[in-house]
A and B are shown apart, each in its own frame.
Chain A
Amino acid sequence: QSALTQPASVSGSPGQSITISCTGTSSDVGGYNYVSWYQQHPGKAPKLMIYEVSNRPSGVPDRFSGSKSGNTASLTISGLQAEDEADYYCSSYTSSSNYVFGTGTKVTVL
Chain B
Amino acid sequence: EVQLVESGGGLVQPGGSLRLSCAASGFTFSNYWMHWVRQAPGKGLVWVSRIKSDGGSTIYADSVKGRFTISRDNAKNTLYLQMNSLRAEDTAVYYCARDGVDTIDFDYWGQGTLVTVSS
Contacts and interface: CB of A to CB of B under 8 A. Distances in A.
Interface stretch (A15-23, A45-53, A67-75, A76-84): A45-53
Contacts of B100: 48, 51
A97 B104 contact: no
B56 to A, nearest CB: 14
Interface residues of A, number: 26
A39 to B, nearest CB: 11
A103 B39 CA distance: 11
Interface residues of B, number: 24
B17 to A, nearest CB: 24
A34 B103 contact: yes
B45 A45 contact: no
Interface in A20-75: 32, 34, 36, 38, 40, 44-48, 51-52, 57
Nearest to A6: B44
A98 B47 contact: yes
Which 5 A-B pairs rank lowest in CB-CB distance, beginning with the nearest? A36-B105, A34-B104, A45-B109, A99-B47, A104-B44
